[in-house]
Amino acid sequence: MINVIICGIGGQMGGRLAHLSLQSEDLKVVAGVEAAGHPGIGRDVGEVIGARQLDAPVVDDLAKVIDRGDVVIAFTAPPEGTVTASEVVGKAGKAMVVGTTGMSEAQVSAFKKNVAGVPCVFASNYTAGVTLLTRLIEEAAKVLGSAYDVEVIEMHHHFKKDAPSGTALTLADAAARGLERNLKEVAVYGREGMVGARKPEEIGIHAIRGGDIVGDHTVMFVGSGERIEFVHRVQSRDAFASGALRAARFVSKAKPGLYDMRDVLGLQ
C-alpha cells in the first residue's frame, strides 16, 4: 500500500485525486494539506471531499504529517505552497509528484533544489494524451521546418489563475526544440495593435478563459495552402488525476531524481 498525502486537498484537483485514490487497491490517502485559514483545516479529508471518514487529517503544515506518507502529491494555488512542501519533502526523504503550474523561474529553481535528493515527478500536464502529443509536436516541427508558422492556443475555465497554461508552454517548447529555437527568444504572447508582419521565427501563444472549460490545447502548423492542427481536449479532471496517481505509483519505487510523464509512460 502506498500512503499518499495531497497538498491542495480542498481544490478541484485535490478532491479528484482523493476520490480516485479511494477507488484504488494500492493507494491510501493518509493526510491533506491546505493553506492556513482554509475551512478544511482540522477536519478529516473524507469530510472535506464529501466521502466517508478516512482518519486522514487536514493540516496547514506538511511537516505535521509528513511521517505518515510515502508520496506527497502537490497541485497548489498559489504555487508557493508547492515550493514550501518540496522543502519538507526533501528534508524527510519522501517521494513527490508535482503538477503545480504558474511558478516563477526563482520558484522552480528553489523547488528543484529542494527535491534534488529524492524521487520526484514534475509535469505541467499528467494526461497520457498530452505526453504523447508533446513528442508528436517536436517531430512535426522537425519535419515541417521553418516553412510553417507555429501557433498555440489554450482554453481553460474562468477560475484558472495563470496564463498561458503550463501545458501550452510545454507544447510550444516542444515545437521550439524541433525547430532548434529558444522559446524564450521567439515566443509571442497574444498580439495587439500595429505589431507589424509576423516574423518567421515567432511561436505564438494565446490564452482563452471562460466558463467551465477543463482544458483544450491546439497547436497549429500553418503553411502556404494548408494548415495542420494537433488538438487535445480534456473532458474531465480525472484525466489529470489518473495520470498523477500513475506517477505516484512510479515515483514510489524510483531512485532519486527529477522525472516527467515521459519517464512514467516509458517514452524516453
Q: Which residues are catalytic?
A: 156, 160
> What distance in Å separates the CA atoms of residue 25 and residue 45, rounded to the nearest whole number?
18
User: H/E/C letters for each residue in 10-54?
Assistant: CCHHHHHHHHHHHCCCCEEEEEEECCCCCCCCCCEHHHHHCCCCC
Angle of helix 128-144 relative to helix 166-178, nearest 10 degrees?
Answer: 30
Is 16:241 a contact under the CB 8 Å cutoff? yes
Buried-exposed string 190-214: b where 16+ CB fall within 10 A, e elsewhere: eeeeeeeeeeeebbbbbbeeeeebb
Q: Tell the residue number behind the cell numbers 472549460, with chain if given.
A: 213
Torsion of CA 92, 95, 100, 105, to 10 degrees: 70
